[in-house]
Amino acid sequence: MTKLIAPVKKIPVYKVRKEALPARAMPDLVAVEEPLQIRIEWEGSGRWHEKSLYVTMRTPGNDFDLVMGFLLAEGIVQKLDHVLFMRYCRRVKETEEGNVVIVRLAPDTVCDLSHTDRNFLSNASCGVCGKSSIDAIYGRLAQKTIFTNSAISSEVIFQLSTFLDQEQTGFKYTGGLHAASLFDLSGKGLLIREDVGRHNALDKLLGAAFREGLLPSASRVVLLSGRVSFELVQKTAVAGVSVLAAIGAPSSLAIELAQKTGITLIGFLKSDRFNCYTYPERIHEVG
């Protein structure tokens, strides 16, 4: 049985306060960061192939959600039944136990990695690198433009961050985790996932939502705890989500991709204000 790794770790910390010297060590919790390697197996030319596909630094927990979200976002699989099963690898060193996931694709699933020329080797904050990679993603998303007549109330948007504040458990204890949350258009919180990496948190969320049948759907809202990069918009577009909101700022390329893919993009979200960058007509009292 695979030994799973805890998402937080207790360590001694010196919390120095000017009014309370000398400082002494006391136990505190920090977010765990560990590498996760994704390996895929698929059948072709009458035999099984195995490839080490991707390595990311992540917070352990919800690893299968992370893997599913990544595979869907990258177009390696298009449907849940393209994945036969996922499991932790048992043929690894003790130090790697719980850090290697094997994905076996269902028979007759076409495993085409030629759509991208970038190497799937990243750290927790890595995104798309290079103009050729961006052009390739634009091409893949050409048929992903989201059309919807659904609208959301600005009052609902104001309340989204409250859910994040209440449910982001790992951040409360460590201060070191990003979060991604899923809502319906009424503002009901459906799912939340946390990770040391922004991209991993969103992959975990989208993977869990696909596995639970909540996506793809244009009647969904994603909220991110940090800023919005190009790749986070790309992942949201693949999931068919029509509204992407964030506590932080979007980049110029993120705004451009949101416009092209039909996503209402919101940044600098607070309980009493936000900026809308694309498709404001989908928000009551805005467009």
User: Could you list the active site residues?
Assistant: 126
Expressed in angstroms, the distance from the first to the final Cα of the chain is 54
DSSP 122-162: --TT----SHHHHHHHHHHTTT--------EEHHHHHHHHH
The Cα–Cα gap between 195 and 62 comes to: 9
* Residue with the two structure tokens 């809202």: 221
* Residue with the two structure tokens 């859910």: 163
For residue 214, report the phi and psi dihedrals to the nearest 5 degrees. -85, -15
Question: Which residues, other chains included, contact 211 with Cβ-Cβ below 8 Å and sequence gap of 6+?
Answer: 64, 65, 68, 80
